[in-house]
Amino acid sequence: MRATFRLVEVEDVVRIPPTELGRPIQEAAREQVKAKYENIVNEDLGYVILVIDVNADPVGKILHGDGSTYHRATFKLLTFYPEVQEVIEGEVVEVTDFGAFVRLGPEDALLHVSQIMDDFINYDEKHGILIGKETQRKLGKGDFVRARIIAVSFPRGGMGGKIGITVRQPFLGKLEWIEEDAKRAKGEARERIADVS
């Protein structure tokens, strides 16, 4: 599994309004950078979680007709950048009749009911679980799954974003299912070896 969290170094010009000019420049710049970048979703950066290490030039510029000062600043952003085909683990945080939402870092991904297993799935609303008709495998809130990201969309407005995932591939799914499948595969391999011997 590749890490989807990145530390990105950014350079930008920070506008410090007149109301903030009595504060130390570094503090005021940090607040302005946080307000601009934290909690946005951007196609180049991904999901911006945290701004760290803001370093603003103490000498700024003033533009005619604007009482603010403008300072060059460098800073680091902790981001979550999901990539298509990436395998990632997360916790089921909600179950509905059309699938489950899985928490991946700071965002919830949709695990559509068609992407859970090769079985007809029933939704048990009373217990909040999805159940395979033949396999009797259950998926509910609090379960951990290993999934592959199959779709990522970043909005133009800077808020939201969508991630789609699947667990309908070998060695993906609820972690208990993966263990069961691995044990079954080992047993089948031992049987084949015994038959050859």
Residue 90 burial (CB count, 10 A): 21
Residue 118, token pair as written in the block: 């090769």
C-alpha 66, offset from chain centre: 39
Distance CA 190, CA 197 (A): 11
Q: Is residue 196 part of a domain?
A: no
Whether residue 164 sits in one domain with residue 95? yes
Query: Mind listing the pLDDT tens digit for each residue in 104-118?
Result: 988 899 999 999 999
Is there a domain that residue 184 lies in?
no
Number of domains composing the chain: 2
* Residue 91 shares a structural domain with residue 76: no
- 149 found inside a domain: yes
In a domain, 192, yes or no: no
| Whether residue 105 is found in the same domain as residue 159 | yes
The full 3-state SS of the chain, as one line of letters, equals CCCCEEEEEEEEEEEECHHHCCCCHHHHHHHHHHHHHCCCEECCCEEEEEEEEEEECCCCEECCCCCCEEEEEEEEEEEECCCCCCEEEEEEEEEECCEEEEEECCEEEEEEHHHCCCCCEEEECCCCEEEECCCCCEEECCCEEEEEEEEEECCCCCCCCEEEEECCCCCCEEHHHHHHHHHHHHHHHHHHHHHHC
Q: How far is CA 5 from the centre of its chain?
A: 8
Domain check: are 91 and 165 in the same one?
Answer: yes
Question: Considering the entire predicted model, what is its pTM?
Answer: 0.77
pLDDT score of 158: 57
Do residues 110 and 172 share a domain?
A: yes
Distance in angstroms (rounded) separating the CA atoms of residues 29 and 193 = 67
Which of 80, 103, 138 terminates a domain? The answer is 80
Express each pLDDT in 16-73 by its tens digit: 999 888 899 999 999 999 999 998 888 888 899 999 999 999 998 998 888 899 999 9
Query: Using one digit for the tens of pLDDT, what is the confidence trace for 147-184?
Result: 999 999 887 765 667 899 999 998 899 999 999 888 88
Pair (70, 99) in one structural domain: no
Beta bridge partners of 121: 132
CATH of the domain at 97: 2.40.50.140
Assess if residue 158 is contained within a domain.
Answer: yes
Range of the domain at 92: 87-179
Residue 42 belongs to some domain of the structure: yes
Q: Say whether both 139 and 159 belong to one domain.
A: yes
- For residue 28, give the CATH number of its domain: 3.30.1490.120
How would you list the strands of the sheet with 138-140, edge to edge? 121-124, 129-132, 138-140
Whether 35 is covered by a domain: the verdict is yes
